[in-house]
Amino acid sequence: MLFRKTSHLIGLDIGSRVLKASEIVETKSGRRLQHFGMLDIAYGAIEEEVIKDADEIAASIRKLFNENSFKTQNVAVSIGGHSVIVKKISVQTMTEEQLQESINSEAEQYIPFDISEVNLDYQILGEAENNPDQMNVLLVAAKKEVVDSYVNLIQMAGLNPCVIDIDAFALQNIFELNYALEDENVALIDIGASKTSLNILKGNSSVFMRDVELGCGLINGKIVSLINCSYEEAEQLKYSDQPDRISPDDVKEIISSVIDDWCNEIRHALDFFYSAYPDDDQIKRIMLSGGGAHIKEFRELLAVETSSEVEIINPFKNIQIDKKSFDISYLEQIAPQAAISMGLSIRKIDDK
């Protein structure tokens, strides 16, 4: 979904709790990190992918860009959640021109929204595995009202929205840039503040995607319910070594119950994948991103529940970083939260 042609983009990840922005420049010796920044936004400004307070978020975006010396105004952003549908479908083999003319009628069979209410995009993947007369197509549908709200938000911040991507695709792009691809199934899982995104890859192809409305915000919500504090206070208590208004045991119990929910939902999604693709191999590798990736207990439980190797993604792995310009220890600390913005920052305008 492309809006304005440009050759240099800032990757802007607009999360429900934190803004992340990345700028990567290409040099003769490879890609180099030019700028990076993060900024918290107010609770309730974005809820379930819906922008509730555009003025507040636009002001925060301007602050983020000013404080981190971003000069480029052209940005790539991404959306996800229930407003986005991604499906691999099979259609009769045809030219791209023919598919473009018929994509609306093809999409109506798979999209649970009125076709007039969505923006459609697609990519031809190649011949269908079991039928040489058909081809596989990756179909993407995003609600127009959601896309329009993000375009308007970026414009309110004084920036140019050039690319509207999908969260899972941005994560896939940065994974492929930094890690060797083999003919194996890899699950990319992003645990954000309000949702969890799952993208299963076979080689460099996405074969299964799902978003679940579970995230790190559940931990804060349970703390708020228990001691009647603000969400901001709950965020501080969650990371405090010696919280003063709640016992460490209560915090630990809350975190354990939430990660149990995460693991259950992820396991159910993987079970659905295995039932849909019975001939595919077991998923041996899971790459985690987002704030939830920091929780050691979650990583350990997920490894046991899925019988997979669980690893935190490093989106800076193959990116040149000037140690005089950046605090390397800080980048290592926030690496999983930076993954989507980094994936957005390597987008090119002619990418499909």
Residue ranges of domains in the chain, CATH in brackets: 1-80+144-179+317-352 (3.30.420.40), 180-314 (3.30.420.40)
**Per-residue pLDDT at 203:** 79
**Per-residue pLDDT at 351:** 56
The more confident residue out of 73 and 236 is 73
- Tell me the mean pLDDT in the region 340-347: 96
When pLDDT is cut at 50, 70 and 90, the band that residue 3 belongs to is very low
Q: Are 127 and 135 in contact (CB under 8 A)?
A: yes
**Per-residue pLDDT at 120:** 93
Query: What's the Cα-to-Cα distance from 177 to each of 17, 134, 154, 314, rounded to whole Å?
Result: 26, 31, 27, 11
**Per-residue pLDDT at 32:** 96
Indicate the burial class of 126 (C-beta count within 10 angstroms; 0-12, 13-18, 19 or more): exposed
- Tell me the mean pLDDT in the region 86-100: 91
Rounded Cα–Cα distance for residues 224 and 222 (Å): 5
**Per-residue pLDDT at 43:** 87
Q: Are 169 and 281 in contact (CB under 8 A)?
A: no
Residue 181 has pLDDT above 90, yes or no: no
- Tell me the mean pLDDT in the region 66-89: 92
CB atoms within 10 A of CB 352: 8
**Per-residue pLDDT at 4:** 42
Note the pTM of the prediction, 2 decimals: 0.91
**Per-residue pLDDT at 5:** 45
CA torsion 58→63→69→70, rounded to 10°?
A: -10
Give the up-direction half-sphere exposure of residue 200: CA atoms within 13 A in the CB hemisphere.
23
Amino acid in position 55: D
* pLDDT mean across residues, the chain: 91
Q: What is the pLDDT of residues 182-201, one digit of tens each?
A: 778 899 999 998 899 999 99
Distance of CA 199 to the CA centre of its chain: 9
Region of residue 62 (phi > 0: left; psi between -120 and 50: alpha; otherwise: beta) = alpha
Rounded Cα–Cα distance for residues 173 and 182 (Å): 15
Nearest Cα residue to 148 out of 118, 112, 123, 126: 118
Percent of the chain at pLDDT above 90? Answer: 67
Element holding 162 (H helix, E strand): strand 160-166
**Per-residue pLDDT at 6:** 43
Q: What is the pLDDT of residues 10-59, one digit of tens each?
A: 999 999 999 999 999 998 999 999 999 999 998 889 987 889 999 999 99
Residue 326 has pLDDT above 50, yes or no: yes
